[in-house]
Amino acid sequence: MAEHEGMDGIAAAYEGLETTFADDGALDAYRRSALERHVAQGDVVAALLPPDATVLEIGTGNGRLLIDLARRGLLASALGVDLARSRIAFAEQWATDDGAAGLRFAAGDALTMDLGGAGEWDAAIVITGALAYFDAVAPGSARALLDRLRDGLKPGGRLVLELYPHPSWRQLLDDAEDGRARLWSELPDGDPWRFYLSDLHLDGETGVLTHRKTFVHRTTGEIDEGRREALRLYATDDLVALLHDAGFGEVETFAGWDGAPYDDGELLVVTAVRAD
């Protein structure tokens, strides 16, 4: 697989994830599973919204969170954006099939595309680690995104983030002399790929983790290499400072979607409020 850099690389990694389904039953099963696996996210976001809410989601993927909120009858209007055109097409079709009139999806780069009017949104959501891609592509761009989200929120509007800080990898890489480590994992029985090599590098200056992935096929032994992901690993204090600098207050950190306080674990959920 060819290696792409920057935003093109992210789009290429996600393009085509939801394209072919054998029949309507397979499509329904995929949509149902996407909703069922993440009910807790919907519950938490739903509890933060006012009635007839307006919601912006960055890196919306297949649109499942906004679909979930629309099905709960909570949305007056919402916009979901994503770099991957195929994912946006999937989300649009899903919203049409659901008759979710107030839902809009658009393909593009959240740093430059139209994200709605100033003070339009009750909530801005960036989950499943999407914020971590930004500084890895262009240092400082997470702050630029947060500035755009702050401006787009109503005063008192909510920001919801979900990040994967990878504390165990960070520890391993901090201890390694050159900031590099290689880890083999075995995938579950049903997976066509059996082994998975993670080649990790943490840049101590930028906090950017580069993760090259190599898969070994279960039956053919075929090798798939060249898939690469780059993520900014945030220390909690740095992330909280970044949010304050970008004009957010009431920053709270959680260990997941059940409301427990953050414990330096693998999942970090953050809520904050536009300060002015």
Q: Does 129 bind ligand SAM (CB under 6 A)?
A: yes
Question: What does the block give as tokens for 28?
Answer: 């329904």
Q: Is 267 in the site for ligand SAM (CB under 6 A)?
A: no
Binding region for ligand SAM (CB under 6 A) out of 79-87, 114-122, 169-177, 264-272: 79-87
Query: Does residue 148 touch ligand SAM according to CB under 6 A?
Result: no
Q: Of the candidates 113, 124, 112, 162, which has an alpha carbon nearest to the alpha carbon of residue 265?
A: 162
Interface residues for ligand SAM in 97-116 (CB under 6 A)? 109-111
Taking CA atoms, 88 is separated from 14, 16, 82, 184, 230, in Å, by 11, 10, 7, 34, 22
Q: C-alpha dihedral over 164, 165, 167, 168, to 10 degrees? A: 40
* Least distance between ligand SAM and beta carbon 220 (Å): 28
Pick one of 55, 67, 115, 127: the residue that binds ligand SAM (CB under 6 A): 127
CB of 129 to ligand SAM, least distance (A): 6
Among 81, 173, 209, 243, binds ligand SAM (CB under 6 A): 81
- Which CB atom, from 100 or from 216, has the smaller least distance to ligand SAM? 100
60 binds ligand SAM (CB under 6 A): yes
Q: Looking at the DSSP assignment, which residues form a beta bridge with residue 62? A: none
Cβ–Cβ under 8 Å, residues 62 and 18: yes
**What's the min distance (Å) between Cβ of 181 and ligand SAM?**
23
239 binds ligand SAM per the rule CB under 6 A? no
Question: How far is it, in rounded angstroms, from Cα 174 to Cα 181?
Answer: 10
* Contact in structure between 160 and 127 (CB atoms under 8 Å): yes
- Strands across the sheet with 153-163, in order? 103-107, 75-82, 53-58, 121-126, 153-163, 268-274, 248-254
Shorter beta-carbon distance to ligand SAM: residue 150 or 216: 150
Given a contact cutoff of 8 angstroms between Cβ atoms, the answer to whether 117 and 26 are in contact is no
Which of 64, 148, 166, 274 touches ligand SAM (CB under 6 A)? 64
Q: Which residues in this chain contact ligand SAM in the complex, by CB under 6 A?
A: 7, 10-11, 14, 58-61, 64, 81-84, 87, 109-111, 127-130, 133
